[in-house]
Amino acid sequence: MAETNRIILMADMNAFFASCHQSVNPSLRNKPIIVGGSMTDKRKGLVIACSYEAKNQGIYTTQSVYQARKKCPEAIFVQRDHALYHSISSKIMEFLRLLGPIEVASIDEAYVDVTERFETGTHPILIARYIQQTLWEKILIPCSIGIGPNKIIAKMASEVKKPRGIVQMGVKQFMTYYHPRSLSSLYGCGTATEEKLNRHGIYTIGQLAQADPPFLRSILGKRGELLSQFANGISSNAINEEREKGDKTIGKETTFNEDIHDSGTIMEIATNMSQRLAHRLQEKGKKARTVSIVYKTERTGPSYSKSLTLPHSTSDATQIKRAAQALYLEHLNGSALRLFGVRLSNLEEAEYDQLTFQDFDFKA
């Protein structure tokens, strides 16, 4: 097989946060689980994650807890546990590394290059089934797997059958399946980008694939050309095993379906994002010096940011949270927001204990 021809697999854990709680707590299995909500007022807060049993009853991420309780009264609410999520994620990633080079895309996603195993006679579908079976039998984490010649096709193939699906696509199969679909199905195409393309008569992934790249660049900048490539099933097939270590900034953000005015809700989101980003820093062995909040006041409008540089770099969730909340209270308190996020920059190396294979244990 030529060097340019690769077999890339995307392993995407299903309802990961909720599945982690169900993994370690048998009483939560096969029940509608909602992660999130306020610890002090059970009517407030947002849904951070939910199990498929809850999704099947209309619960979705960023929905208000009040709405979720009305829609699914029997739902069981659990508080987020990032130590648990990262512990299970580390086990999953170490397992996947046994199968081939991996690129960690997020806490619950990774690309795996299984080309060498394919060349020695193991079909990618069999590898995918082995991954699903092992993760379910050992730690009760379900996953969907996409297989393709590059990362964009593998990523989008993993979205076709959830939960617990396995889908393999070549370029032609990708085009046949995805080109008739709306732009919202295209990885990397958010709501604002979709609306902008709609205003120029582009509604489907196929129409985007056929659009003139210079025209797309004129309305979307460099992102237009990238999305054009994605729409045509074109992307890198190189696995970057050092991807996270090279990040100059890390961040989390969320877009709301309606204007959010409530400062308590934003403060809770800032807390959650700060905890997740702190764990990412600790995983990378880094500390951050600058904390920023990112926001939009209109759905299709530009994004803005406010920053605070700390006296000393940190990977402590409480310090990051305090900085993010202080920025919000100073600049945005009570403002109507359609997007909010926390971003960390000026990253510095920090000493940390590296996970070794001796630490690897599937017991959750």
In this prediction, residue 242 carries a pLDDT of: 65
* Residues 151 and 13 grouped into a single domain: yes
Pick from 31-40, 88-97, 148-157, 312-321: least confident: 31-40
Domain match, 312 and 226 both:
no
Residues 31 and 150 in one domain: yes
Q: What range defines the domain where residue 51 resides? A: 1-156
Catalytic positions: 109
- How much is the average pLDDT of 172-199? 92
CATH of residue 219: 1.10.150.20
Task: Tell me, yes or no, whether 36 and 136 share the same domain.
Answer: yes
Residue 151: band (very low, low, confident or very high) from pLDDT cuts 50, 70, 90: very high
pLDDT at residue 243 greater than cutoff 70 = no
The answer on pLDDT for 354 being more than 60 is no
For the ranges 20-24, 77-81, 358-362, the one whose mean pLDDT is highest = 20-24
More confident call, 142 vs 364: 142
pLDDT at site 119: 92
Mean pLDDT of 68-74: 93
65 occurs within a structural domain: yes
Say yes or no: 206 and 307 in one domain.
no
Say if residue 24 is in the same domain as residue 57.
yes
Nearest of 336, 262, 254, 349 to residue 293 by alpha carbon: 254
Alpha helix ranges (H) inside the chain: 16-24, 52-55, 65-71, 82-97, 115-119, 124-139, 151-157, 171-178, 191-199, 205-210, 213-220, 222-231, 263-284, 317-331
Q: Does one domain contain both 276 and 323? A: yes
Residues 230, 323: Cα–Cα separation, whole Å: 37
Classify residue 60: in a domain, yes or no.
yes
* 35 and 102 assigned to the same domain: yes
Say if residue 208 is in the same domain as residue 305: no
